[in-house]
Amino acid sequence: MKSELQALEDSVVVCRRCPRLVEFRESVAKAKRKQFMDWNYWGKPVPGYGDPEAKLLLIGLAPAAHGGNRTGRVFTGDKSAEFLMRCLHYVGLANQPNSDFRDDGLELYRTYMTPVLKCVPPEDKPKPDELTNCFPFFEEELSILANASCMLALGKIAFDGCLRYFRMRYEFKKKDYPFGHGNTYRFESGMELVAAYHPSPRNVNTGRLTYEAMIELLEKVKLLSKIR
Ligand code: SF4
| pLDDT single digits (tens) 29-60 | 999 999 999 999 999 999 999 999 999 999 99
CATH of 2-225, one of 3.90.226.10, 1.10.3720.10, 3.20.20.140, 3.40.470.10: 3.40.470.10
How large is the angle between the packed helices 2-12 and 128-144, nearest 10 degrees?
Answer: 160
Q: Cα separation of 115 and 126, whole Å?
A: 12
Say yes or no: CB of residue 45 within 6 Å of ligand 1. Answer: yes
Confidence of residue 163 (pLDDT cuts 50, 70, 90): very high
Confidence of residue 228 (pLDDT cuts 50, 70, 90): confident
| pLDDT single digits (tens) 56-94 | 999 999 999 999 999 999 999 999 999 999 999 999 999
Q: Cα separation of 180 and 194, whole Å?
A: 9
| pLDDT single digits (tens) 188-216 | 999 999 999 999 999 999 999 999 999 99
Question: 218: which strand partners?
Answer: none
Mean pLDDT over residues 145-174, rounded? 97
Maximum separation of any 2 CA atoms in the chain, in Å: 50
Q: Rounded mean pLDDT of the chain?
A: 97
Using the atom order of ligand 1, give the atom closest to the CA of residue 15.
8
The secondary structure of the chain as a DSSP string is -HHHHHHHHHHHTT----HHHHHHHHHHHHH--GGGTT-----S----EE-TT-SEEEEES---TTTHHHHSSTT-SSHHHHHHHHHHHHTTSBSSS---STTS---BSSEEEEESSSSPPGGG---HHHHHHHHHHHHHHHHH-TT--EEEEESHHHHHHHHHHHHTTS---GGGS---TT-EEE-TTS-EEEEE----HHHHHTTSS-HHHHHHHHHHHHHHHT--
Give the global pTM. 0.96
Mean pLDDT over residues 141-163, rounded? 97
Mutate to test the pocket of ligand 1, among 10, 16, 21 (most ligand atoms within 8 A of CB): 21
